[in-house]
């Protein structure tokens, strides 16, 4: 999987020695620029824009994000609690399945609860009837468009035998009886054309029920803040959909809020030769950038040269696969050298872990417009200790 971002922006001039290593550095000004683009789409189209917390849940920036967006989307109880505690605006919650105890609280704090199939809704209406306030949340159904458009099958919600959403070809009129909304999420780092193709696939199944639906949620994966995204086409599409459906239209971008807004700073700890130069860094792919292994993908490096001798970079853990990739470094490789990987504000920060007791990167907020830099969070070994018993 090849990342679609990696513009260094103001980080091209950031002194990597200003922060300890390893460290995430998020540029507040870059986040604001992304939010301004999303707010413009929202204002011109009439659609509502929610932040998908699964991608970016940096609650220290809640006051900034609250200025621009309509609310937040959660993937379960803990994210919903975070949204309720630190952010403002309505919460939309979707999970492939729920525990009954979680649903009781979710129904109190979520404006929308979206279920993965009609059978779940029936159980919610019947089995949980005595425990849940039935009228406190709008009920939505996630459908699976069954049109695979992703670059990597395992990241594609429409992959064969997907667990995400009710197959659109199985929808029938009875399924709309208790619904306030329809939700689908079929994209991953994609442009407007993928959204248009997805809508053309699902529209015939949804259009007959426009009159009974209150909202349609187009999910996330929209790379709206990328320079080459066709934002004019998106605005026209959203305006048209809102007009002909009579529904509120929602988008749930996650990456788009923090695209190209953060770096992960690291340091080379050791260098040796094993058929090619190999370096051990204090950045771990498995602990600090899990998508490097899971996707897999190759993160862009700040200042990487196009020509020269490549060196393999790997983390300090004992996992044989803890390999970041092969890079031609900005300078001649040496122990103590600082490096940074681009576009790490989304997903990387929320997916870090302490496998092998590898320390977590500290988190820093920088404002590239006034050069203000402050540490928001640092971790010591007790973070590792206190996860265990």
Q: What is the pLDDT along the chain (389 residues), one digit of tens a residue?
A: 666 667 899 999 999 999 999 999 999 999 999 999 999 999 999 999 999 999 999 999 999 999 999 999 999 999 999 999 999 999 999 999 999 889 989 999 999 999 999 999 998 877 665 555 545 689 999 999 999 998 888 889 999 999 999 999 999 999 999 899 999 999 999 999 999 999 999 999 999 999 999 999 999 999 999 999 999 999 999 999 999 999 999 999 999 999 999 999 999 999 999 999 999 999 999 999 999 999 899 999 999 999 999 999 999 999 999 999 999 999 999 999 999 999 999 999 999 999 999 999 999 999 999 999 999 999 999 999 999 98
- Residue 305 lies inside a defined structural domain of this protein: yes
DSSP letter for each residue of 264-284: EEEEEEEEEESSSEEEEES--
For the question of whether the overall pTM of this predicted structure is more than 0.75, the answer is yes
Domain count, the chain: 2
Q: Are residues 300 and 189 in the same domain?
A: no
Instruction: Enter the DSSP assignment of 372.
Output: E
Could you give the CA distance from residue 330 to residue 301 in angstroms, rounded to a whole number? 9
pLDDT at res. 152: 87
Q: Which two tokens stand for residue 335?
A: 């122990």
Domain end, chosen from 258, 277, 306, is at: 258
Domain with 112 in it: 46-258
The domain spanning residue 343 has which CATH number? 2.40.37.10
Quick one: 142 and 163 in the same domain? yes
187 and 246 in a single domain? The answer is yes
Q: How far is the C-alpha of 191 from the C-alpha of 40, rounded, in Å?
A: 17
Residue after which a domain boundary falls, among 258, 274, 307: 258
Three-class DSSP category at 261? coil
- Residue 185 shares a structural domain with residue 97: yes
21, 124: one domain: no
**What's residue 45's pLDDT?**
98
Residue 136, preceding peptide bond in cis (omega within 30° of 0): no
Cβ proximity of 374 and 27 under 8 Å: no
At 319 the pLDDT is: 97
- Residue 174 within any structural domain of the chain: yes
86 located within any domain: yes
Q: Is 35 inside a domain boundary?
A: no
Q: Dmax of the chain from CA atoms?
A: 68
54 lies in the same domain as 175 = yes
Specify the CATH number for the domain of residue 100. Answer: 3.20.20.10
Residue 249: inside a domain: yes
Q: Is residue 30 part of a domain?
A: no
SS3 content of the chain, % helix, strand, coil (to 5): 35, 20, 45
Tokens of 23: 């460290």
The reply to whether 239 and 266 lie within a common domain is no
Q: Are 128 and 106 in contact (CB under 8 A)?
A: no
Q: Are residues 53 and 136 in the same domain?
A: yes
Contact in structure between 379 and 316 (CB atoms under 8 Å): no
Residue 36 lies in a domain: no
Distances (CA, A) of 250 to 38, 42, 74, 188: 12, 9, 14, 17
- In this structure, the answer to whether residues 354 and 266 fall within a common structural domain is yes
3-state secondary structure of 71: strand
HSE toward the beta carbon, residue 20, CA cutoff 13 A = 12
326 and 202 assigned to the same domain: no
What pLDDT, on a 0 to 100 scale, did the predictor assign at position 155?
A: 87
Model pLDDT, residue 178: 87
DSSP class per residue in 101-125: HHHHHHHHH-SEEEESSHHHHHHHH
Looking at the fold, whether 251 and 313 belong to one and the same domain comes out as no
Single residue among 214, 234, 258 that ends a domain in this structure: 258
Task: Tell how far CA 388 is from the center of its chain.
Answer: 27
Q: In this structure, is residue 31 part of a structural domain? A: no
CB 224 within 8 A of CB 33: no
* Domain shared by 235 and 311, yes or no: no
């Amino acid at each position: 999987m090849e990342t679609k971002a990696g513009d260094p922006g103001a980080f091209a001039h950031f002194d990597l020695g200003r922060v300890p290593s390893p460290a995430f550095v998020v540029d507040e000004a870059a986040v604001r620029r992304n939010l301004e683009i999303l707010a413009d789409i929202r204002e011109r189209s009439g659609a509502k824009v929610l932040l998908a917390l699964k991608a970016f849940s940096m609650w220290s920036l809640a006051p900034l994000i609250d200025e621009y967006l309509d609310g937040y989307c959660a993937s379960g109880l803990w994210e919903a609690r975070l949204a309720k505690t630190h952010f403002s605006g309505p919460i939309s919650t979707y999970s492939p399945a729920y525990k009954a105890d979680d649903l009781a609280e979710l129904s109190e704090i979520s404006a929308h609860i979206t279920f993965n199939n009609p059978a779940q809704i029936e159980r919610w209406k019947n089995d949980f009837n005595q425990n849940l306030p039935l009228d406190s949340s709008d009920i939505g159904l996630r459908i699976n468009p069954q049109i695979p458009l992703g670059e990597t099958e395992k990241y594609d919600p429409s992959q064969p035998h997907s667990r995400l959403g009710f197959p659109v070809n199985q929808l029938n009129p009875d399924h709309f009886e208790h619904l306030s909304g329809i939700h689908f999420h079929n994209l991953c780092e994609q442009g407007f054309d993928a959204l248009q193709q997805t809508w053309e696939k699902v529209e015939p199944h949804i259009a007959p029920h426009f009159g009974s639906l209150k909202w349609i949620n187009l999910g996330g994966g929209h790379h709206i803040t990328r320079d080459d995204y066709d934002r004019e086409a998106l605005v026209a599409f959203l305006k048209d959909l809102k007009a002909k459906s009579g529904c509120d239209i929602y988008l749930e971008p996650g990456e788009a809020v923090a695209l190209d807004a953060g770096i992960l700073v690291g340091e080379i700890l050791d260098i040796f030769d094993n058929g090619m130069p190999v370096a051990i860094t204090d950045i771990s792919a498995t602990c600090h950038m899990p998508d490097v292994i899971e996707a897999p993908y190759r993160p862009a490096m700040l200042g990487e040269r196009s020509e020269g001798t490549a060196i393999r970079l790997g983390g300090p853990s004992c996992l044989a696969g803890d390999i970041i990739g092969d890079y031609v470094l900005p300078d001649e490789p040496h122990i103590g050298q600082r490096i940074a990987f681009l576009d790490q504000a989304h997903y990387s920060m929320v997916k870090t872990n302490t496998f092998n007791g590898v320390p977590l990167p500290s988190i820093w907020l920088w404002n590239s417009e006034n050069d203000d830099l402050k540490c928001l969070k640092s971790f010591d070994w007790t973070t590792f200790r206190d996860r265990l018993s």
